[in-house]
Structure 1
Amino acid sequence: MSQSTIFDKIINKEIPADIVYEDDKALAFKDINPQAPFHVLVIPKARIATINEVTEQNSHLVGHLYAVAAKLAKEHGFAEDGYRAVMNCNEHGGQTVYHIHLHLLAGKTMGWPPYTSTKKELL
């Protein structure tokens, strides 16, 4: 396996994170650079570098990430108003950590396309 990522260190409790959910397959923690009032990253404990490495054998983990996101949306009271759940893939997709992660963003109205018109920052 390639060099460990910051997410591996969070999973292994080697560095701190503001964890909001954990089970045997996934971990969710607050993003250190939030793009919405509620912004958490939901990651599988088994590392999959990018969406391109999702296979029939590990695809159940991606489904589990979305199930965790839905659970968090309900628990935090924004399931009915709505939220955004998105994964980035590789450099042009905006991925900066090569361990798949689902961004769960809520607490404000999301625009489309998912960037601000002046800075072109992903939201």
Structure 2
Amino acid sequence: MAGEPQADCLFCKIVAGEVPATVVRETGTTVAFRDINPQAPTHILVIPKAHYRDAAVLAAAEPGLAADVLREAGAVAADEKVDDRGYRIIFNTGAGAGQTVFHAHAHVLGGRGLDWPPG
């Protein structure tokens, strides 16, 4: 069921403290942690503590929680001091878009020029 922890989900395991992560922020509804394979000097993932498959499912089911994730992404950018130079918030939705963990999450990228296309 949406919102319930999934036993086979890496991010649910991070939320539960079963898998270590370098947590940089945590609220009652979200956790933000450093990506283990950073694509920019600042690369932090912001996830809802509740399990939703992707950003579209999260937004449809819990728009307030989706807003929490976005709000925390902005707070992470400020904490990491990339907010005044610019940063990117990315939600990969589906395997074809590069989503590899099927628990909604925002990538916060910054600290270098982020020309389009990304990479």
2:65 aligned with 1:61: yes
Question: 1:3: Cα distance to partner?
Answer: 4.4
RMSD: 1.4
- Cα distance in 1 between the residues matched to 2:62 and 2:106: 15
How far did 1:72 drift? Answer: 1.5
Distance 2:11 2:74 in 1: 21
What CA distance in whole angstroms lies between the structure 2 residues aligned with 1:55 and 1:38?
A: 25
SS in 2 for 1:15: coil
Tell me what 1:111 maps to. 115
Runs of 4+ in 1 over 6 A off after TM superposition: none
Question: Does 1:6 pair with 2:10?
Answer: yes
Quote how far apart the aligned CAs of 1:4 are: 2.8
Out of 13, 16, 30, the residue aligned to residue 20 of structure 2 is: 16
Equivalences, count: 115
Task: State the alpha-carbon separation in 1 of the partners of residues 107 and 74 from structure 2.
Answer: 12
The separation in 2 between residues aligned to 1:60 and 1:40, in whole angstroms, is 21
How far apart in 2 are the matches of 1:42 and 1:97? 13
Select the structure of larger CA radius of gyration.
1
Is 2:67 the counterpart of 1:71?
no
Question: In structure 1, what is the equivalent of residue 86 of structure 2?
Answer: 82
What SS does the corresponding residue of 1:54 show, helix, strand or coil? helix
SS in 2 for 1:48: coil
Kindly indicate whether residue 49 of structure 2 is the aligned counterpart of residue 45 of structure 1.
Answer: yes
Give TM-score, length-normalised by structure 2: 0.90
Gaps of 5+ in 1: 116-123
Give CA-to-partner distance per residue, 1:20-48, whole Å, 9 cap, x none. Answer: 01111000000000000010100000111
Query: TM-score under structure 1 normalisation?
Result: 0.87
Aligned partner letter, 1:96: T
Q: Does residue 32 of structure 2 align to residue 28 of structure 1?
A: yes
Secondary structure (helix, strand or coil) at the match of 1:74 reads: helix
Structure 1 residues 55-75: Cα deviation after superposition (integer angstroms, max 9, x where no partner): 544011111111111111112
The residue aligned with 1:91 is 95
